[in-house]
A = this chain, B = another copy of it.
Amino acid sequence: MQRVSVSAPGGHYDILIGPGLLDGLDEWLQPLAPTSIAIIADPTVAALYGARATAAARRVARTELVVLEASEGEKTLLTAARVVDRLVAMAADRRTVVVALGGGVVGDIAGFAAAVFMRGIRIVQAPTTLLAQVDSSVGGKTGVNHPAGKNLIGAFHQPVAVVADTTTLRSLPPRELSAGIAEILKHGLIADEAYFATTCADMARLLARDEAALAAAIARSCEVKALVVGRDERESGERALLNFGHTFGHAIEAITGFGTWLHGEAVGCGMCLAADLSRRLGMIEAADCAKVVEAVGAANLPVRIAGLSAAAAMQAMRGDKKAEAGTVRFVLLERIGKAVQRRVPDAPLVETLSAAGYT
C-alpha cells in the first residue's frame, strides 16, 4: 500500500492506494468514531462493491447504502438535496461519516451534500475510477452542475481520508480508463516532464491495467496534485494550473450536453487545443505540440472532435467560472512540464478552434 499525505488550509488527510483496500475500509473508519455511516454509490458501483464496503463499514457503526443515479446529467442540486433527504431519513448527525464510493460524479455530489449537511460533516472518498483516484477525490472540491455551467454550485470540503482500491479498476470500462489517463498526462504536462515521459513509455501497460504501473501513476499524480493544492487551496493562483485543458474541455462538455463525452475525454481533447493555442502564441514548438497530441491519441482519447460550433464554444468559455469580467484566462504550456496562466485575445483562440474543425 502507498500513502500520500495532503496538507491544505482546510484540512490534512491521507490518500491510501493499494489492492483490496475496500475490504479493510473499517481500518480507516474506526479512528473517526462515527455515530453512523452513509455509503453513497451509483447502481453499477453499488452492485459491484456495495456489499463489500458496507460489510466493512458495519464493523464500525450503523451503515446505510444510499444508491443514486450519478451520471454527469444527474449531478444537480436536486440530486444533492436527495442525498440530504436520505441523511435526514437515517437520522444522521454531526458525527456521521459519508463515504463516496464511486467515480468523480458520486464524489462531487456526496462531497457537496456532506459539505452542506448541518454545515459540514466528514467525508471519506473511496474512488473506484482511475479519474477519481488520480484527480477528483484529491483537493476538496465538491459541487454540482447548473444549466449555465459545470460545478457552478459547490463548496471546498476536504475529505478526512481517501481510500483508493486499485483492484476496483479491473471492472472499469475502457473509455473510463482512458479518461483517467488524460489527467495523468495532464499532471506530467503541467508540472513534471519526466513523469510525462514515463506515462508515454508506460502507455501500453497502463491500458493493459498493469497494477504496478497504475499504482505508481496514481501515487505520483496524487503527489503532484497534493503539492499544487497544498500551496493554494482556493485556486487564486497555482491551483488554476490544474485546469490545463479544462477551459476547452468544459466548453466541449457544455455544448455537447453534459455526459456525451466523459470529462477526461473532453479534457484530453482540450489539452490538444491548449497545446495548439500555446504553439500559436509562440510559447512551445510544433514538435512539443505534436507530442501532446500523440500522447492523447495513444491513450485512446479524442484528439479532435469535429463539427462543434465555434461561437457556442466561445460563449461557453466566457461563461466559465474561470472567466472574470468577460475575459478568458487560459492555462497554457511554457514547455512540457511547466504550465502558466495567460489572458488570451480572441484572434488566436478562434484560429485554434477553426484549425480543430469547429465551424
Residues of A near any B CB (own CB < 8 A): 35, 77, 81, 84-85, 88, 91, 93-95, 115-120, 141, 143, 146, 148-149, 151-156, 234, 319, 321, 323-326
Are B156 and A119 in contact, CB atoms less than 8 angstroms apart?
Answer: yes
A94: chain B residues within 8 A (beta carbon): 321, 324
Are A152 and B88 in contact, CB atoms less than 8 angstroms apart?
Answer: yes
Are A118 and B152 in contact, CB atoms less than 8 angstroms apart?
Answer: yes
A81: chain B residues within 8 A (beta carbon): 77, 153
A311 to B290 alpha-carbon distance, docked (Å):
72
A213 to B296 alpha-carbon distance, docked (Å):
69
On whether A117 and B152 interact (CB within 8 A), knowing A93-B323, A93-B325, A95-B325, the answer reads: yes
On whether A93 and B321 interact (CB within 8 A), knowing A81-B77, A84-B152, A141-B119, the answer reads: yes
Are B141 and A93 in contact, CB atoms less than 8 angstroms apart?
Answer: no
A319: chain B residues within 8 A (beta carbon): 91
A149: chain B residues within 8 A (beta carbon): 88
On whether A155 and B93 interact (CB within 8 A), knowing A35-B325, A88-B148, A324-B35, the answer reads: no
How many copies of this protein are present in the complex? 2
A156 to B116 alpha-carbon distance, docked (Å):
9
A35: chain B residues within 8 A (beta carbon): 324-325
Are A118 and B155 in contact, CB atoms less than 8 angstroms apart?
Answer: no
A151: chain B residues within 8 A (beta carbon): 119
Known: A95-B325, A117-B153. 6 other contacts (CB 8 A): A35-B324, A84-B146, A93-B324, A116-B155, A119-B151, A119-B154
By CB atoms of chain B within 10 A, which of A77, A141, A149 has the most?
A: A77
A91: chain B residues within 8 A (beta carbon): 319, 326
A94 to B240 alpha-carbon distance, docked (Å):
13
For A321, the closest partner residue in chain B by CB is B118
A143: chain B residues within 8 A (beta carbon): 119
A141 to B154 alpha-carbon distance, docked (Å):
16
For A141, the closest partner residue in chain B by CB is B119
A321: chain B residues within 8 A (beta carbon): 93-94, 118
For A112, the closest partner residue in chain B by CB is B116
